[in-house]
Each structure stands twice: as structure tokens, then as C-alpha cells.
A and B are shown apart, each in its own frame.
Chain A
């Protein structure tokens, strides 16, 4: 049968606030257990939550960025369940009245097709702590540092139809939250986590099939692989005439399989009700409008501008604008280089290659954007050629100085003196009589290919410094005799 894949995503983005959602404790990763906590995060008797207004601002920013309705009155609700690292016995979340309502995002795939993914809602909630199962002599340890860390849960409509589309959507959300500066987007540290809801239905059928939810997938690659694996599993069951059980599953990247975590029957009745310790959050239009004014240029807008302002291709503009640090870096390179196409090629090419090889973030690149731009400016003004520039970039990466310093120090300036080049070429012709004879005997179009041999000799003799634009006409003249 021909199956259609239906995917909906729930993304938890940890908001980059200084303090927690309901307490003044600092939000930090990797601190000693239970040191980043207050009475509230520990669930002490009598402790009361106080809502962090910074988290509110960030949630409203996100709402604007995905063209969503803003919840002018949003209500915190308690989601009740017992777990050792849930200190109050409930998670404070939002249920009926979330801070962000219906919105949408346009997602472009590599093949250039664009689809609109609906966003059902985004709501604020607090994170739980962590249970530690090692080093406690068979018991479990509880670390409440993460307790009450603010999360924005972004729920999509079941509008996604492929693994590629799912990844493109998650990347777009990632790009938006990092552009907005409301989440550091660090998936390895759990700052962004993704639950994937998947079902299959025969092509053309309107009703949805039974779905499974894959919890906590934490990289773009795993999202794609988990979807492929789960789709295959569901398709096998359905092809064999079986039924999908509605359940929560876990993806195991090592075995590349999903396995059952709990079925719907085991699911908790969370007994949601409005949290009586927190007042409804009532916004004014003025506040909402004012936050809209503070929105930075978002990835899609930036890509469009790069295409018109810098004449970049749609692909290049998309890649470069995918993260704000890369887009900012590119614009600085271009400013110093004065050539947008050259700048884009080097940022996406040589620089990205070095960053990947060294697993370095562009924000931490040892070659800053201005200096890379100055290097490219030396290509543009014919001081050096591209090949030399790649070597210089490596020197710069290793901290040997600026482009001009390295060019000077190593004497890498291109030779454009025609007299010097002419005498060098005469020597080459004298040293290679057989090749010269062959060249002279050949047809004109063959000659064009054969000139590469002499060009190579010339570059070697000049240690790469000869300007190819000067060498070629002199070679032609002297070879033809």
C-alpha cells in the first residue's frame, strides 16, 4: 500500500532567562547538584511561585515570530503526577489558555519546495529535576538544579509529511529561537528537545491513523532517523494487517530502533486545574505591540534581503542566514572584502570546512570576520591568487597574523612584472624543447589544453606567485613564436 506519513512535533525550548520560571535561582548547566535552587524549586512546604516576567517577554517574542495569536489572558495550570524529581508533585504548565495561540511557519526544503506548517500553540512550563541512578549504592539521587527552569513547549499541527520536512521544521524553529536570543539551541545539553508524533494513513484517506509518540529526540539527525525507523515499523505492522497501539516510544540511536515506553492505558490522569498560587497573566495590547518592535530580522527575512542586497542565490542565502552568527559573520566579511559572492563562497566553503574539522563554532572562529574579509580583498585586488589565499587562511587560523602580515612575511605577493615573467617563460621554453615542438604542431583547440603544462611549470617556477592573468598571454605569444 501507498502510505502517507503524518507527523506532528512538540518542541521543548529552554528559555535563556537568567533565573528560573518561578524562582530567583540562577539557570545554569553543569553546576554541583542542588546548588542552583531556592525553596520554590525544592518544593518546600509553604513556598510560593513568582512568575518570571522575562520568560513572558520571550514567549511573546516567539509568538510574534511565528505569526501567532498572543494569549492576552493566559493561565498557569498544575499537571499532577508523582515522580521523585518533580518536587511539588505537579508541574506548573499551561493548559486551556496558553501564552501563544495558533500560528504558522513556512519551511523550505533542499529541493526548493516550500510548505506551511501550522503551529497549534506554544505554552510556558517549568522543567523537572533529574534523577541520578549511579553512585548511590542501589538508591537514586535527585538533583533539582533544573527544577523550574523555563521551557516553551511549541506544538505543531500534524501538517508534516516527511522526515525531511520534520527536520526542516525543527531547524527553522531552532533558527528562530536562536535568532530571537530566547534559547541557546544547544540540543546536546538538552536546551532543545523534541517529541515526534507519527502515524500512517493510506494515501487519499482523510482520517488520521493511530499515532505513536517518540519522546525526547535530541538531534536533527536522530529526528530524521527515528522517523524513518518508526515509519518502517508502523508500515510493516499495517502491511501485515496489524494495528498500531497508541503509546509513547523511545528512540535508541545505537540500535536505530524505537521501543515502547508506556501505553496509553498506563498514561497518567494529570488532573489539570488552574494553579491557585498564580494569577492569570493579563497582557495589554501596548505590551504586546512593544515587544513586536523589538523583534530582530528573522532568518527568512534575512535570506530574502541577502538575495536582493547581495545577489546571493536562494540556496546560498538560505545556508548563510540559517544561523544568526553565520549571517552576521558573512556581512562583516563582505564589508571588508567588497565582494558578496566571493565572501559567501569562502564562508560556506573554506571557513566552514575549517570550523567543521576543528569542531569550532563560528562564534569562536580564531579568524574573525573582518580579517577574513581583508584576505579576500587581496584576492580581489590580485595581490594573491585563490590557492595562496587558502594557505594564508590556514596560517591565520594558526594565529600567524593578519593576511597582509603573512603575505609580507612570506613574500607571497603575486608577480605581475611582465619583464620578469617573460624571462622566466623563456627559460621554461628553452628547457622543454620537445613539448614546445608538440605544441607548435597541434591544432589551435588542442593548444588550449596543452598550455596547462607550461602554466604548471610557470607556477612552480614562481612558487605560485605568478599572476595567471599575466602569464597566459605571454605564454601564448612566446610559444607561438
Chain B
């Protein structure tokens, strides 16, 4: 039952082969069984999930059910969910019960999906390994000694280990795609502005974007149908019409032009990963696509630009966590300054503090031009690279990450190595284009993700391409045995 895709589950629910209560209970059982070792969930909402499932069953009976009625999913713990703990995996928000619902979670609830719980993540979405959580690190089900990637590590693991049909994630510099790649699942980072950020606790507002994480492109399309679209509560959300993301999944790929940027296949790329990606590209050629070598010359600048822009915005976004109105406040503050400094020093981990300090520095008088403004100029160059490339080709393909999942603890003392993990993903956020991670094979017995990048608002096309690939491969159907590294 747990290996079903959303389309078949919907069918079984509608045909009363199963009930949502049964389905939800089976996922809750799986969470109970696996979460102690994987640590994928921060909060499990058994009671409310079963109550919602009961309602979904009634709605199905009454013929008033939404498109995702009865499907159990989970949310990254930075979406505000009314009445439930929303922690951002931080001590700072370890006591924060959101008084309102984010647009993403509200739309999924509206569509009838059941919330099983809130998933673990790197604190405030800052990290690439999910080792930076107040609630402890998350383990990769393919090898328990290895990281699941981050920051949406808990969401990726929940899907990979069968603890949820699908999950939501957010991607500021690769936080959907890289854990999807490391855990062998499918993830989509939509175009910036395609999905509302309202109620999503901000890391870097100009880069953050929510998206689906699931077993397949088709499942991602189901979630996109619920969450995509303009939201008047988010001024940066795009007033561009949405599509039925399921409608174009079966379009043939004849005539598709794929660009392979040489910068994605250079030094630092693991040969096993490179082989898997080239194998996947060959598969596309078989499906009628042609391949073209292209260049994204400013790719290497994306790391310094990102690590100025994202921390700058974060330093400001995280100012509201001051101990005054909600969240962690230190014991017995002796004055206002003491309350601020101690509450924040205690509430934020070192990684978060580091990024706040970097951002504060970059925005300071006398440094602003040299850092922030220069980073913005680089951002425009990177965007232009993609615009130019996507004038020549339909989509760009490459690896999501230079390696497969790495060992827990292996990069925690080397921040630069950790930041280099994001070399292939950051530029997409800087440009604002959509991109996917699609399972494309294994290297060293760990999953490899193929990255597919497309033009603005080309989510439908990306899902179509990924779906066609998944119709002809079975990488996305592989499941971890859960006994490696145990």
C-alpha cells in the first residue's frame, strides 16, 4: 500500500478499496516504526491526521472531496500551520505555535490532503546536510551513516522511507533538489513567485521558493496543482496563469533540445555521478531529444554571490526573533540589550549566527557597495547566462550535486566544502528559474539526482520531461532497504 503513487491512491480511495483513515494509519505506523532511527519528523500529528482522514472519507462519500482528498503528506517545519508547533528546527522557535496557516499548507488542506506532521530540516533552512537541527540530525535511509542532504532533509527522508506519500520543501539554494538527489526521490523547485511564500518562515526572501517532494514527477504535478498560483498576500508572487500540471505529462519529447553546460561537468564532479548523468542523457536521446554543449560562464561566481545575498537578507529576516513577542527568551534578562543578545545567542545555532554576522557585515556602511551591490550585479550576470542559454535550448541538464550523500560529520568542520555542495544548485535560485531533481541511477550504492533546469514558468515542461524519463526508467521506484549503515 505504501508504494503506491498519488494517482492510484486517489483511484483506490474513490473506489472505496481503501479508506483515508486506513491509509493514514498505515503511514502513522510507518513513522512510528522508522522515525526513531531516521529522525525525519519533528512533530507527528496522529490525532488531527486521523480526524482529517475521517473527514476526507466522508467528503469522498458525499462527493464533495477535493482533488487530493485523503492523501497523507507532511510539511517542512517552516510552513506555519495553525495550532501546531512550527519550529524551523530552531531552539528559537521551539515553543512557537503558529496563529495562522501558510498559503501552501492551506491550499493543500483545501485540496483534501492530510497533514501527518512537520518534518525536520536544517535550522532556518541554513544547511546542506540536515546536521544543523535543534532536534538532531536526520539520517539517510539508503545508508544510515550518511546525511540526507538539506535543508529539506526530513521531507526527503519521509518520502524515501515511505513515511509520507509526498512532502513539501523549500529551496533557497538547493534545499529541495539536493536532498531529493541524496535520497533518490523527485523534487521540484518552481520559478520564483510561482508558489506563495506567505506563512513560510523566511531565510532569504528573494531566493526562497516552496515546492513538492515526492516519488515521481507525476506526484509532484499533483501537489503543484494545489499549491501553484498567485497569492495576494505575497507581493512577490507572480500573476501568471497556472496550468494543469498533469495535462502535459505524456507529451512526447521528440525535438527536445537539451543543453549540457560544460561548467557542470568539470573539476570536483564525482565520476560515478557523471556517469549516471550521461547515462540519463543518453536515455533522453533515445526518447527523441538532441543534446547541445553550452556554457554558463559565470557559474563559479554563484557561490560568492549567494553567500552575500542570502546571509544579507537572512540577517534582516531573522531580526524579528528578539525574544520580545514570541519564541525563546533568556532567563532573567538584566536589561534590554542582555535580553536581545542572550536570547539570540541561546536561540540560534552557530551556523545561523555565522550567517547573520556575515549578512550584517555585508550590509554595513562602507561594505555595502563592495559586497551586496556587487553580488546583485553578479546575480544579473548569472540570470543573463541562463536567459541566453535557454534561448538556444529547451532545458538544461546536469548533476544536482557533485557527489552522492556524504558521511555524517565529514563536512561539519569545513564550511567551504559544505558550501561547495551547492555549486550546481545556487545559480538556479539566483536566476529564479525552475529546476527539478530526478532519480537517475546510483553511484557507490547511493542515489544520484539528475537536475533539469527550464525557463521561467516552464514547470509543466519540466514535469513532462521528468515523467517521460520515469516512464522509461525505474530509478524512482527503487526503495532503500534500511539496513545499510545500521
Q: Report the minimal beta-carbon distance from B92 to chain A, rounded to whole angstroms.
A: 10
Complex Cα spacing A51 to B236, Å: 11
Answer whether residue A46 sits at the interface, using C-beta atoms and an 8 A cutoff.
Answer: yes
Inter-subunit contact B99/A44 (CB<8 Å): yes
Given contacts A43-B325, A50-B233, A87-B325, contact A82 B340 (CB under 8 A): yes
Within B267-294, the residues touching A (CB, 8 Å) are none
CB-CB < 8 A to B102: which residues of A?
A: 46
- Give chain B's interface secondary structure class: loop
Answer whether residue B235 sits at the interface, using C-beta atoms and an 8 A cutoff.
Answer: yes
Within A1-53, the residues touching B (CB, 8 Å) are 39, 42-51
Inter-subunit contact A80/B235 (CB<8 Å): no
Query: Contact string, A41-77, partner B, CB cutoff 8 A, digits 1/0?
Result: 0111111111100000000000000000000000000
Answer whether residue A288 sits at the interface, using C-beta atoms and an 8 A cutoff.
Answer: no
Complex Cα spacing A269 to B362, Å: 12
Closest to A49 in B: B235
Q: Report the minimal beta-carbon distance from A80 to chain B, rounded to whole angstroms.
A: 5
Answer whether residue B365 sits at the interface, using C-beta atoms and an 8 A cutoff.
Answer: yes
Inter-subunit contact A273/B368 (CB<8 Å): yes
CB-CB < 8 A to A39: which residues of B?
A: 99-100
Answer whether residue A470 sits at the interface, using C-beta atoms and an 8 A cutoff.
Answer: no
Complex Cα spacing A44 to B96, Å: 10
Inter-subunit contact B320/A276 (CB<8 Å): no
Inter-subunit contact A273/B320 (CB<8 Å): no
Inter-subunit contact A50/B235 (CB<8 Å): yes
Closest to A142 in B: B324
CB-CB < 8 A to B202: which residues of A?
A: 45-46, 277
Query: Contact string, A84-95, partner B, CB cutoff 8 A, digits 1/0?
Result: 100111100000
Complex Cα spacing A271 to B206, Å: 17
Inter-subunit contact B197/A48 (CB<8 Å): yes
A interface residues, tally (CB under 8 Å): 28
Q: Report the minimal beta-carbon distance from A183 to chain B, rounded to whole angstroms.
A: 25
Closest to B80 in A: A46
Answer whether residue B205 sits at the interface, using C-beta atoms and an 8 A cutoff.
Answer: yes
Inter-subunit contact B235/A277 (CB<8 Å): yes
**Which of B86, B322, B364 contacts A89 (CB under 8 A)?**
B322
CB-CB < 8 A to B312: which residues of A?
A: 273
Answer whether residue B475 sits at the interface, using C-beta atoms and an 8 A cutoff.
Answer: no
Within A256-280, the residues touching B (CB, 8 Å) are 269, 271-273, 276-279
CB-CB < 8 A to B206: which residues of A?
A: 276
CB-CB < 8 A to B200: which residues of A?
A: 46
Complex Cα spacing A279 to B232, Å: 13
Chain B: number of interface residues, binned into ranges? 35 or more
Inter-subunit contact B86/A271 (CB<8 Å): no
Inter-subunit contact A51/B235 (CB<8 Å): yes
Answer whether residue A78 sits at the interface, using C-beta atoms and an 8 A cutoff.
Answer: yes
CB-CB < 8 A to B360: which residues of A?
A: 271
Most buried by B among A39, A46, A84: A46
Closest to A80 in B: B316
Closest to A88 in B: B320
Inter-subunit contact A271/B197 (CB<8 Å): no
Complex Cα spacing A273 to B204, Å: 13
Given contacts A82-B340, A271-B364, A273-B372, contact A44 B100 (CB under 8 A): yes
CB-CB < 8 A to B315: which residues of A?
A: 80, 271
CB-CB < 8 A to A78: which residues of B?
A: 316
CB-CB < 8 A to A43: which residues of B?
A: 320, 325
Q: Report the minimal beta-carbon distance from B139 to chain A, rounded to whole angstroms.
A: 27
Inter-subunit contact B232/A50 (CB<8 Å): yes
Q: Report the minimal beta-carbon distance from B77 to chain A, rounded to whole angstroms.
A: 12
Complex Cα spacing A45 to B89, Å: 14
Inter-subunit contact A80/B363 (CB<8 Å): yes
**Which of A49, A50, A87, A272 contacts B320 (CB under 8 A)?**
A87
Most buried by B among A48, A88, A142, A279: A48
Complex Cα spacing A276 to B236, Å: 8
In the assembled complex, 7 residue pairs joining A and B whose CB atoms fall closer than 8 Å, in A order, are A42-B325, A44-B100, A80-B316, A82-B340, A271-B360, A272-B368, A279-B236
Q: 6 smallest A-B Cβ distances: which pairs?
A: A89-B319, A271-B363, A276-B205, A276-B206, A46-B199, A45-B201
Not counting A46-B80, A276-B313, a sample of 19 additional A-B residue pairs whose C-beta atoms are within 8 angstroms of each other reads A39-B99, A44-B98, A45-B80, A45-B202, A45-B321, A46-B197, A46-B198, A48-B233, A78-B316, A80-B363, A84-B336, A89-B320, A269-B365, A271-B360, A271-B364, A272-B368, A276-B204, A277-B202, A277-B205
On A, residues with C-beta under 8 Å from B are 39, 42-51, 78, 80, 82, 84, 87-90, 142, 269, 271-273, 276-279
